[in-house]
Structure 1
């Protein structure tokens, strides 16, 4: 059966539309099946999943195909967005899994003075299942923070200087590590996600700003904010 485009759209309307608009109109007739979590994209503030307290993963299920698939999706999104930290709830699954990494390419975004001031250290890609955080140094440090789930904005946030993280690695083995300065901040940020919190809940509200406000002005407001790399 042939599809007659002219019979589907009134002739007068067809004459007014460009081919691109006709194509868009026709594509709109076809219902798209929405993706199912775990997503390959990162969800945004407003999605109720970000406000759910994530559940622990039973130890006997850590090596299950479902959890392995979740971790693979988490890694995919993590690399796709070039993150330094990401939680499972940010790809639509409220389970207690996080991934953190800070590599040499990330450090290139900071000057040597900033690296020293922020106490930045490198960390290979690390997955922690059912992470538990213990504060080792209650000194509060203030730095600006952003979040892939609040894309395009930053604000000052106060965090503890040193923490200990315990949990399971992706093989189900017990791990423990101490994190100082910038890494401690990243882990605290991700643990907040697992508890249904965003950095906007604890930020200095007066410092909340669009990370590209200068570019917006330079281009007369003609700036698009992408939600996918």
Structure 2
């Protein structure tokens, strides 16, 4: 990575965010930062500032709560995301969705590519689109490449719900929201989700709302 400049605009933005108290404010859909491809990380933040930013992203993700958060979601256009999923769900949900615990990790300049042709469709939400969920068909297995916050290379295959998280957060870094890939007939408020669509899979929702699953 190239050495950082003395004070990049992105570093100034991060310093401003970190000067506040508590979790960082999450940007909602409609803000252009969510629709612009983020800059590849190449030393725009010095190591100490990067570490502080990563910790703030983690705290904000926990407070939301969520299982992933990308830098553009707090108004910073860098290709950085954090993920963590305790997967505290019933066994039937865990088995149906392939949802297993994921330790905290940082994804820097991540990319993914499908492995095989399998696809899986489940309801999905986003911290930048509060109050709503929709069914998204995603690759069941992907190859993740990138680096961690220390510059160590990542190259691994992920499956199930972890693959969904990787795709969702990496899409954010390309200016893509989950709604761009969603079956819009499935769009449901959080209230509707609680009252009607708590099943481990979206088959009942597909039948009732009139959309197809892969």
Residues paired across the two proteins, number: 177
**Inter-partner Cα distance in structure 1 for 2:132 and 2:162:** 20
* 2:22 is the counterpart of 1:43: no
Deviations 1:106-129 (A, max 9, x none): x33x32122111111211001011
How far did residue 188 of structure 1 move? Answer: 0.5
Deviates further, 181-190 or 161-170: 161-170
**Quick one: which of 71, 74, 99 aligns to 2:82?**
99
Partner of 2:186: 207
Partner of 1:72: 55
Report the TM-score, using the length of structure 2 for normalisation.
Answer: 0.76
* 2:149 is the counterpart of 1:170: yes
Question: Structure 1 residues 117 and 215, CA, compared in 2 at 3 Å: closer, same or farther?
Answer: closer
**Quick one: which of 83, 98, 123 aligns to 2:66?**
83
Partner of 2:121: 142
Report the TM-score, using the length of structure 1 for normalisation.
Answer: 0.71
Question: Structure 1 residues 173 and 214, CA, compared in 2 at 3 Å: closer, same or farther?
Answer: closer
How far did residue 36 of structure 1 move? Answer: 4.4
Unaligned runs of 5+ in 1: 1-34, 217-229
User: Which secondary structure does the structure 2 equivalent of 1:125 belong to?
Assistant: strand
Partner of 1:111: 90
* 2:27 is the counterpart of 1:52: no
**Inter-partner Cα distance in structure 2 for 1:117 and 1:198:** 24
How far did residue 214 of structure 1 move? Answer: 7.7
**Quick one: which of 178, 182, 191 aligns to 2:161?**
182
**Inter-partner Cα distance in structure 1 for 2:130 and 2:165:** 16
How far did residue 169 of structure 1 move? Answer: 1.2
Deviations 1:27-50 (A, max 9, x none): xxxxxxxx9446712111111111
* 2:143 is the counterpart of 1:160: no
User: Which secondary structure does the structure 1 equivalent of 2:185 belong to?
Assistant: helix
Equivalent positions of 1:1-16 (< 5 A) are: none
Asked which structure has the greater CA Rg, the reply is 1
User: Which secondary structure does the structure 2 equivalent of 1:206 belong to?
Assistant: strand
**Inter-partner Cα distance in structure 2 for 1:214 and 1:96:** 31
How far did residue 66 of structure 1 move? Answer: 3.5
**Inter-partner Cα distance in structure 2 for 1:121 and 1:214:** 22
**Inter-partner Cα distance in structure 1 for 2:113 and 2:36:** 22
**Inter-partner Cα distance in structure 1 for 2:184 and 2:116:** 25
Unaligned runs of 5+ in 2: 1-14, 196-214
Q: Does the aligned pair in 2 maintain the 1:62–1:170 contact within 8 Å? A: no
**Inter-partner Cα distance in structure 1 for 2:45 and 2:159:** 28
